[in-house]
Structures are given as structure tokens and as C-alpha cells.
Amino acid sequence: MVNPRLREALLEGTDLAPFGRLVDAPAEGMTLADVPVERLLATTLSAKVLVLRGYGLLDVPELERYCEAAGELMRWEFGTILDLVVQDDPKNYLFDSGDVPFHWDGAWSERAPRFFLFQCVQGCDPGAGGETVFSDATAVYRDAPPALRDLWARTTVTYRTDHLAHYGGTMSHPVLAEHPTTGETTIRYAEPLDPAQYRNPLFLTVEGPSSEEAVQVMAELSERLHDPRYCYEHAWRTGDIVVAENHALLHGRNRFTGSTNRHMQRIQII
């Protein structure tokens, strides 16, 4: 249940399944800048994913100024805004036409962002794939049996990948973490990337449990995180603005099955 005092700060819209909220622009000519950023993020924290439709997109300087009003922005070697497009000869799987397994943003940074925002400059043709998939990691943990939650609590995963994009190297993360705002237990996990299938493969070493239990950890995470009861798939339309809550969710992408002309801009708020 939403705190009554918080409810007044939320944007009204249509609830999505199994989570998320869709908000249509109440009038023509409105842009993202017309949405108070505090209400935008409060609604996203409550709904986990917020979809805005009918609002005009912002150019790069405007988008940076809008998001800076909410907090510090993640800055990479390319700046604050990442253009997500399929490349002809990509070094990293994020820019390939295949699927993107579940992960969380900022895993390779000292501080992970609280929220990330996408502007869809060019959407996908219906049925062309490329949907972004969000998995509610807090709900997956909450519904898991106590013995499995105890196993996850004893597990740390070390990840290794070559630094061929804006991240890379070696890092270790416990499977479970506390959400810094809500206090809920959430799952921090990035799925392995088989070098036979993915550019810039990701290798995992499971630490803490026995070897048999480690196999169980990965199998249970794969099955439960992909369970449709916990996943919202977003099919992108030109002009969509999507804000997601990074600590409660993991996210990935379905592979493209048709046109790969999709173009999105991503910015992250710490």
C-alpha cells in the first residue's frame, strides 16, 4: 500500500501488469520538462517502472538539466547520455541485435544509480523484438522459500569481463542487498554471457556455497527472475519516455527479430 502522504505526489495513470504505470500527456504540446521531476521519481519509486506517452522529448542539454535537478548524474567517457543503437560491428553485446541478459546499471561503478531514464527517439516496428524486460528482484526474493533465501544470503558472485565498452574488469557482489530507500531486500545479479554466443562475454564465479549449491543458485535465479509473474516487457514506440527504479529491478532486452533501427537515449541519476 502507498503511504497516503506519498500518494498525493504520484502521477495519475494506468497501472501496468505485473507492475509499472503508464501516464499519457493530459494536453498536446507538453514535454518531459512539464512533469515535476520530484513527482516523476516518486511515481517511479512506487511503480518501479514509469512509462510516459505523448510528451515531447528533450534535447541533450535540456535532458541533462532536467535530471540534474533530481541528483547527480552518472558520467562516463562519452558523457551522461548513452545512445543505444544497433551497430554494424559492435565490440559489446549491448550494441548487437541479440538479446541482453538481466543485469543492473552501475554494477561496475562505486555508486549505482537510483534511476535510469530512456527517451525513445526511434521505436521498433510491431513484432520486431527489442523489448526491454524488467524483473522485479524484490518480489522474486520476497516470494522465494526461506531455504533458498538463506542460500542466496550466503552467496557472493565475482564477475569478469574485458573492458571493451564503458565498463569492465573484475568485481564481486553479494547476491542480496538492501534497497537504500525502501529497506527491502533485493537481488543483485548479472547473468553470465557465453563467449560462443555473446560479444564481450561475462564470466561468473559463485562463492560461499558448495559446488552443488552454486549450481542451484544460478538455476533458481534464472528460473525465478524470468518468471512472467515478475517481468514487465516494454515494446518501444517512438516518443516513449521510460523511467526505471534501478535498485528494485534487474533489466535486459529481447533479441531483435525484425528491423534494428531503434534509437534510445539513456541517462542515469545517482
Q: How confident is the model at residue 8, as a pLDDT?
A: 57
Question: For the segment 81-91, what is each residue's pLDDT rounded down to a tens digit?
Answer: 999 999 988 88
pLDDT tier, 93 (very low <50, low <70, confident <90, very high otherwise): confident
Question: For the segment 99-125, what is each residue's pLDDT rounded down to a tens digit?
Answer: 999 999 999 898 999 999 999 999 999
The answer to whether 159 and 260 have CB atoms below 8 angstroms apart is no
Return the SS3 of 217: helix
Give pTM, 2 decimals: 0.94
User: Counting Cβ atoms within 10 Å, is residue 97 exposed (0-12), middle (13-18) or buried (19+)?
Assistant: middle
Cell numbers standing for residue 266: 539513456
Domains contained in the chain, number = 1
Angle between helices 146-153 and 211-225 (to 10 degrees): 120
Q: Is 28 left (phi over 0), alpha (psi -120 to 50) or beta?
A: beta
Q: What is the mean pLDDT of residues 129-151?
A: 98
Q: How confident is the model at residue 173, as a pLDDT?
A: 97
Q: How confident is the model at residue 2, as a pLDDT?
A: 46
Q: What is the mean pLDDT of residues 159-168?
A: 82
Q: How confident is the model at residue 265, as a pLDDT?
A: 98
Q: What is the mean pLDDT of residues 199-204?
A: 92
CATH number at residue 44: 3.60.130.10
Residue 101: which domain range? 4-269
